[in-house]
Structure 1
Amino acid sequence: MPGETVQPNPRGPAAVPVPGTLMVDTSRDDRLGEFRGVAGPYWSLRPVRGGAGWEAEPAAVRRATRKERLHAEIERWNARSRGEVL
């Protein structure tokens, strides 16, 4: 599955996810988003179905579970079938 590998984090021992990896921001009621990159001390995430992104503290972000990733993919497929632009 895309986004399952990681890149070394130049700031320390933790690994920075590959862009596109689905992540959960635990500081925002477990909000699911795609990892977009590093913005200073924060990680940039954007909603799976598009829209405005946000920045999160890396310590408050975890990888999405298999169930969460599947749910996100189903949401994408449903949105595309309705002709929504993502």
Structure 2
Amino acid sequence: MSAGRYVIDSRTGRVGQVMGREGPYVQLRPPGGGREWDCPPEAMAPAPPGEVLRARVRAINSEGRLP
């Protein structure tokens, strides 16, 4: 998966944005920011369009709250 794409971590059901790779893992970040987590590539699935839209709205909303 390329950086910037939204995926689902099938182990937890969490949606994350691909940030890059670290060793054998892909690093994911929650929509709108937060702490990254590692996910094995085989546990990732493309996020459905509705989830991607929700993730983008959350990210835009969190940017609007910054001072």
TM > 0.5: yes
Please state whether the residue corresponding to 2:11 is helix, strand or coil: helix
Which one of 65, 68, 71 corresponds to residue 48 of structure 2?
65
Which one of 4, 15, 39 corresponds to residue 56 of structure 1?
39
Q: CA deviation at 1:39?
A: 1.2
Aligned residue identity for 1:69:
V
Q: Which residue of 2 aligns with 1:22?
A: 6
Which one of 23, 26, 31 corresponds to residue 40 of structure 1?
23
Q: CA deviation at 1:72?
A: 0.9
| Moved >4 Å (runs of 4+) | none
Structure with the larger RCO, 1 or 2 (CA within 8 Å, 6+ apart): 2
* Percent of residue pairs bearing the same amino acid type: 31
Q: Could you list the runs of 5+ residues in structure 2 that have no partner in the other structure?
A: none
- Aligned pair count reads 67
Cα contact 2:32–2:60 (8 A) shared by 1: no
Q: CA deviation at 1:78?
A: 2.6
Kindly provide the CA deviation profile for residues 4-60 of structure 1, in whole angstroms up to 9, marking residues without a partner as x.
xxxxxxxxxxxxx221111110112x1011101111111111111111101011111
